[in-house]
């Protein structure tokens, strides 16, 4: 009997659900295992070494859970750990398996969005400090095509992790960061939400962004990029299970994850607690 592998989707917490939701919408036939490392979130304020350690442990766990392919639905892990995991850990763990991130597909999509080349990147401190977005942009398009303005929004992930989307507190921090971004470059015509938690604040973000500015959130981009990857890699695609199963795991409180996760996914989910190490 054919018993294929799963696609793992990993984030520090709830943010990766914004990616998983779009992936399931586009590719409902595969089996998905979502892992939120809520017990150790946020990642965005942690050092390179710590994010790498947490991400590598999570990949190992997802491989043990029969995932052939893992998507880092987390910019911070993509910025700080992806390259080392692809170049070092994969060879030791299982050279047939793959780990993909969210930054490269987002940068590839920029040329479809921006008309004047002025881009704002909002992300965690870790992602901003890594300069992954400007570096990837330069690699792909050269130094002159885009003017990148980066801003860390360290208060936004705690708002999401605590289910604070619309109150006065959330409004204060969202407005403050966006005012700061446009004060740095008033010509920005495209904003990258470079943290997978941020789309959960989208209704609020849209209130403080001029109507002509495009907001690039990663769910659709990453799901299209995954579909394209599977087309280009039939050896991976043919080894994936197709039962349309979705399993959710958190390293913290499963009941809380079920509650908030159901709100974010728009339907009820079941979640189990998982100990990573």
Least distance CB 170 / ligand DGL (angstroms): 16
Least distance CB 123 / ligand DGL (angstroms): 6
Q: Is 27 helix (H, G, I), strand (E, B) or coil?
A: coil
The residues that bridge with 152 in the sheet, in sequence order, are 123
Tally Cβ neighbours within 10 Å of residue 243: 10
Q: Which residues contact 170 (CB under 8 A, 6 or more apart)?
A: 159, 164, 201, 204
C-beta nearest to ligand DGL: residue: 44
Please tell me which residue in 74, 131, 153, 277 is annotated as part of the active site.
Answer: 74
Least distance CB 75 / ligand DGL (angstroms): 4
Instruction: Say whether 74 is catalytic.
Output: yes
Q: Is 175 helix (H, G, I), strand (E, B) or coil?
A: helix
Q: Is 186 helix (H, G, I), strand (E, B) or coil?
A: coil
Residues of the shown chain interacting with ligand DGL in the complex, contacts defined by CB under 6 A = 11-13, 15, 41-44, 74-76, 124, 127, 157, 195-197
Strand ranges, E, within the chain:
6-11, 32-36, 67-72, 98-100, 118-123, 147-152, 190-193, 214-216, 246-250, 271-273
Nearer to ligand DGL by Cβ, of 223 and 240: the residue is 223
Q: Left (φ > 0), alpha (ψ -120 to 50) or beta: where does 147 sit?
A: beta
Instruction: Say whether 131 is catalytic.
Output: no
Q: Which residue has the tokens 């330069």?
A: 138
Annotated catalytic residues are 74, 195
């Amino acid at each position: 009997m054919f018993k294929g592998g799963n696609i793992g989707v990993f984030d520090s917490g709830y943010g990766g659900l914004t990616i998983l939701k779009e992936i399931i919408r586009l590719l409902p036939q595969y089996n998905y295992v979502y892992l939120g490392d809520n017990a150790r979130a946020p990642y965005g304020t942690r050092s390179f070494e710590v994010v790498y350690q947490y991400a590598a442990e999570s990949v190992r766990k997802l491989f043990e859970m029969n995932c052939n392919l893992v998507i880092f639905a987390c910019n911070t892990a993509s910025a700080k750990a992806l390259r080392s995991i692809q170049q070092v850990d994969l060879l030791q763990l299982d050279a047939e398996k793959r780990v993909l991130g969210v930054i490269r597909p987002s940068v590839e999509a920029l040329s479809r969005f921006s008309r004047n080349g002025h881009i704002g990147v909002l992300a965690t401190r870790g992602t901003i400090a890594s300069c992954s977005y400007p570096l990837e942009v330069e690699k792909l398009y050269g130094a002159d095509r885009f003017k990148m303005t980066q801003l860390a929004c360290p208060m936004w992930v705690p708002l999401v992790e605590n289910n604070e989307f619309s109150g006065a507190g959330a409004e204060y921090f969202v407005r403050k960061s966006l005012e700061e971004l446009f004060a740095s470059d008033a010509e920005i015509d495209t904003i990258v939400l470079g943290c997978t938690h941020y789309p959960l604040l989208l209704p609020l973000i849209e209130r403080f962004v001029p109507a002509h500015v495009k907001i690039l959130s990663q769910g659709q981009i990453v799901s299209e990029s995954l579909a394209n990857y599977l087309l280009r890699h039939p050896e991976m695609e043919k080894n994936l299970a197709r039962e349309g199963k979705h399993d959710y795991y958190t390293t913290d409180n499963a009941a809380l994850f079920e509650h908030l996760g159901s709100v974010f996914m728009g339907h009820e989910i079941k979640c189990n607690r998982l100990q990573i190490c």
